[in-house]
Amino acid sequence: MKKPILYILLGLLTSFSAHASENAQLTNETRGAIKALGSELKATLQSAMKSEGPLKAIAVCNVKAPELAKKVSTEKGMEVGRTSLKTRNELNAPDPWELSVLEQFEHRKADGEPVNRIEYSEVTTHNGNRVFRYMKAIPTDDVCLMCHGKQIAEPVSAELKKLYPNDRATGFSKGDIRGAFTVIKILE
Protein backbone atom coordinates (compact mmCIF):
# COMPACT_ATOMS: atom_id res chain seq x y z
CA MET A 1 0.00 0.00 0.00
CA LYS A 2 1.28 3.47 -0.83
CA LYS A 3 2.21 5.55 2.19
CA PRO A 4 -0.09 8.54 1.58
CA ILE A 5 -3.09 6.24 1.48
CA LEU A 6 -2.02 4.67 4.74
CA TYR A 7 -1.75 8.10 6.35
CA ILE A 8 -5.17 9.08 5.07
CA LEU A 9 -6.65 5.88 6.44
CA LEU A 10 -4.92 6.38 9.78
CA GLY A 11 -6.15 9.97 9.88
CA LEU A 12 -9.69 8.89 9.16
CA LEU A 13 -9.54 6.22 11.82
CA THR A 14 -8.20 8.65 14.43
CA SER A 15 -10.82 11.25 13.62
CA PHE A 16 -13.54 8.61 13.69
CA SER A 17 -12.53 7.39 17.14
CA ALA A 18 -12.12 10.97 18.38
CA HIS A 19 -15.70 11.64 17.31
CA ALA A 20 -16.90 8.42 18.89
CA SER A 21 -15.33 9.35 22.22
CA GLU A 22 -16.65 12.94 22.00
CA ASN A 23 -20.11 11.47 21.45
CA ALA A 24 -19.71 9.05 24.39
CA GLN A 25 -18.61 11.84 26.73
CA LEU A 26 -21.46 14.11 25.69
CA THR A 27 -23.93 11.25 26.06
CA ASN A 28 -22.77 10.67 29.63
CA GLU A 29 -23.03 14.34 30.50
CA THR A 30 -26.50 14.55 28.96
CA ARG A 31 -27.76 11.42 30.69
CA GLY A 32 -26.93 13.14 33.99
CA ALA A 33 -28.96 16.24 33.12
CA ILE A 34 -31.95 14.17 31.99
CA LYS A 35 -31.82 12.01 35.09
CA ALA A 36 -31.87 15.11 37.28
CA LEU A 37 -34.83 16.58 35.36
CA GLY A 38 -36.72 13.28 35.17
CA SER A 39 -36.52 12.50 38.87
CA GLU A 40 -37.32 16.08 39.90
CA LEU A 41 -40.37 16.10 37.62
CA LYS A 42 -41.63 12.77 38.89
CA ALA A 43 -41.14 13.71 42.55
CA THR A 44 -42.89 17.08 42.08
CA LEU A 45 -45.76 15.42 40.23
CA GLN A 46 -46.21 12.63 42.75
CA SER A 47 -46.23 14.93 45.76
CA ALA A 48 -48.70 17.30 44.07
CA MET A 49 -50.99 14.37 43.15
CA LYS A 50 -50.89 13.14 46.75
CA SER A 51 -51.38 16.44 48.52
CA GLU A 52 -53.66 18.30 46.10
CA GLY A 53 -55.06 15.77 43.64
CA PRO A 54 -54.81 15.50 39.84
CA LEU A 55 -56.64 18.74 39.04
CA LYS A 56 -54.07 20.85 40.88
CA ALA A 57 -51.28 18.60 39.63
CA ILE A 58 -52.07 19.73 36.08
CA ALA A 59 -50.31 22.96 37.03
CA VAL A 60 -47.18 20.94 37.81
CA CYS A 61 -47.05 19.73 34.20
CA ASN A 62 -48.37 22.98 32.80
CA VAL A 63 -46.08 25.40 34.63
CA LYS A 64 -43.48 23.43 36.56
CA ALA A 65 -42.30 21.12 33.78
CA PRO A 66 -41.21 23.95 31.44
CA GLU A 67 -39.71 25.81 34.44
CA LEU A 68 -37.67 22.81 35.54
CA ALA A 69 -36.54 22.17 31.98
CA LYS A 70 -35.38 25.77 31.74
CA LYS A 71 -33.51 25.52 35.04
CA VAL A 72 -31.68 22.36 34.00
CA SER A 73 -30.95 23.89 30.56
CA THR A 74 -29.27 26.93 32.14
CA GLU A 75 -27.36 24.87 34.69
CA LYS A 76 -26.03 22.43 32.15
CA GLY A 77 -25.51 24.76 29.17
CA MET A 78 -27.81 22.77 26.91
CA GLU A 79 -31.37 23.07 25.67
CA VAL A 80 -33.57 20.46 27.34
CA GLY A 81 -37.20 19.79 26.49
CA ARG A 82 -39.86 17.11 26.03
CA THR A 83 -41.55 16.01 22.86
CA SER A 84 -43.87 13.26 21.61
CA LEU A 85 -45.57 11.78 18.56
CA LYS A 86 -48.83 12.79 20.28
CA THR A 87 -48.35 16.10 22.05
CA ARG A 88 -50.58 17.82 24.54
CA ASN A 89 -48.89 21.19 24.10
CA GLU A 90 -48.16 22.05 20.47
CA LEU A 91 -45.07 23.93 21.61
CA ASN A 92 -43.58 20.50 22.33
CA ALA A 93 -44.17 19.24 18.77
CA PRO A 94 -41.16 17.40 17.31
CA ASP A 95 -38.95 18.90 14.58
CA PRO A 96 -38.08 16.59 11.62
CA TRP A 97 -35.01 15.13 13.35
CA GLU A 98 -37.00 14.45 16.55
CA LEU A 99 -39.86 12.97 14.54
CA SER A 100 -37.58 10.43 12.89
CA VAL A 101 -35.99 9.51 16.22
CA LEU A 102 -39.42 9.08 17.87
CA GLU A 103 -40.42 6.76 15.00
CA GLN A 104 -37.16 4.85 15.40
CA PHE A 105 -37.98 4.47 19.15
CA GLU A 106 -41.38 2.91 18.33
CA HIS A 107 -39.66 0.38 16.03
CA ARG A 108 -37.09 -0.46 18.71
CA LYS A 109 -39.87 -0.97 21.30
CA ALA A 110 -41.75 -3.21 18.82
CA ASP A 111 -38.51 -5.21 18.43
CA GLY A 112 -38.52 -5.84 22.19
CA GLU A 113 -36.08 -3.25 23.55
CA PRO A 114 -37.10 -2.12 27.10
CA VAL A 115 -38.51 1.43 26.87
CA ASN A 116 -36.51 2.72 29.83
CA ARG A 117 -33.28 1.94 27.98
CA ILE A 118 -34.14 3.44 24.60
CA GLU A 119 -31.97 6.47 23.75
CA TYR A 120 -30.25 7.92 20.69
CA SER A 121 -27.54 10.51 20.10
CA GLU A 122 -25.85 12.07 17.13
CA VAL A 123 -23.47 14.91 16.25
CA THR A 124 -25.22 16.82 13.49
CA THR A 125 -26.07 20.35 12.31
CA HIS A 126 -29.00 22.42 13.51
CA ASN A 127 -29.75 26.03 12.50
CA GLY A 128 -26.26 26.31 11.05
CA ASN A 129 -24.49 25.11 14.22
CA ARG A 130 -22.60 21.91 14.83
CA VAL A 131 -24.59 20.31 17.63
CA PHE A 132 -24.88 17.23 19.78
CA ARG A 133 -28.46 15.96 19.87
CA TYR A 134 -29.78 13.39 22.32
CA MET A 135 -33.16 11.83 22.99
CA LYS A 136 -34.36 9.40 25.65
CA ALA A 137 -37.73 7.62 25.62
CA ILE A 138 -40.14 8.34 28.49
CA PRO A 139 -42.22 5.31 29.51
CA THR A 140 -45.88 5.65 30.54
CA ASP A 141 -46.35 4.69 34.17
CA ASP A 142 -49.56 4.16 36.23
CA VAL A 143 -49.36 7.68 37.65
CA CYS A 144 -49.46 9.15 34.12
CA LEU A 145 -52.74 7.51 33.13
CA MET A 146 -54.93 9.88 35.10
CA CYS A 147 -53.99 12.61 32.61
CA HIS A 148 -52.74 10.64 29.57
CA GLY A 149 -54.75 7.40 29.75
CA LYS A 150 -57.77 6.07 27.90
CA GLN A 151 -60.36 7.29 30.38
CA ILE A 152 -59.75 10.63 31.99
CA ALA A 153 -62.13 11.46 34.79
CA GLU A 154 -63.82 14.80 35.41
CA PRO A 155 -62.95 17.46 36.40
CA VAL A 156 -59.46 16.67 35.03
CA SER A 157 -60.72 16.00 31.51
CA ALA A 158 -62.58 19.33 31.28
CA GLU A 159 -59.61 21.28 32.62
CA LEU A 160 -57.25 19.64 30.12
CA LYS A 161 -59.65 20.43 27.27
CA LYS A 162 -59.84 24.04 28.41
CA LEU A 163 -56.05 24.44 28.60
CA TYR A 164 -55.24 22.32 25.53
CA PRO A 165 -57.97 22.39 22.88
CA ASN A 166 -55.69 20.43 20.52
CA ASP A 167 -54.65 17.82 23.09
CA ARG A 168 -53.47 14.61 21.40
CA ALA A 169 -51.76 13.12 24.45
CA THR A 170 -54.49 10.78 25.65
CA GLY A 171 -55.24 7.10 25.05
CA PHE A 172 -51.91 5.83 26.38
CA SER A 173 -51.48 2.56 28.30
CA LYS A 174 -48.88 1.58 30.86
CA GLY A 175 -45.61 0.68 29.11
CA ASP A 176 -46.24 2.82 26.01
CA ILE A 177 -43.67 5.41 24.98
CA ARG A 178 -45.33 8.64 26.20
CA GLY A 179 -42.66 10.78 24.55
CA ALA A 180 -39.01 11.63 24.97
CA PHE A 181 -36.64 14.03 26.58
CA THR A 182 -34.77 15.93 23.89
CA VAL A 183 -31.48 17.79 24.24
CA ILE A 184 -29.43 20.05 21.99
CA LYS A 185 -25.95 21.19 22.88
CA ILE A 186 -24.11 23.59 20.59
CA LEU A 187 -20.54 22.44 19.96
CA GLU A 188 -17.46 24.56 19.17
The site for ligand HEC (CB under 6 A) is made up of 42, 45, 54, 57-58, 61-62, 65-66, 82, 84, 87-89, 92, 138, 140-141, 143-144, 146-148, 169, 178-179
Taking the complex as a whole, the smallest distance from the CB of residue 142 to ligand HEC amounts, in Å, to: 8
Q: Which amino acid is at 58?
A: I
Dihedral (CA of 90, 96, 99, 101) sign = negative
Taking the complex as a whole, the smallest distance from the CB of residue 154 to ligand HEC amounts, in Å, to: 13
Taking the complex as a whole, the smallest distance from the CB of residue 112 to ligand HEC amounts, in Å, to: 21
Nearer to ligand HEC, 78 or 180 (CB): 180
Q: Which run of H or E residues covers position 8?
A: helix 3-59
- Whose CA is closest to 188, among 34, 62, 61, 77? 77
Q: What strands lie across the sheet with 119-126, from one edge to the other?
A: 79-83, 177-186, 129-139, 119-126
Taking the complex as a whole, the smallest distance from the CB of residue 179 to ligand HEC amounts, in Å, to: 3
Nearer to ligand HEC, 142 or 188 (CB): 142
Nearer to ligand HEC, 34 or 45 (CB): 45
Measuring CA to CA, how many Å separate 121 from each of 20, 27, 83, 143? Answer: 11, 7, 15, 28
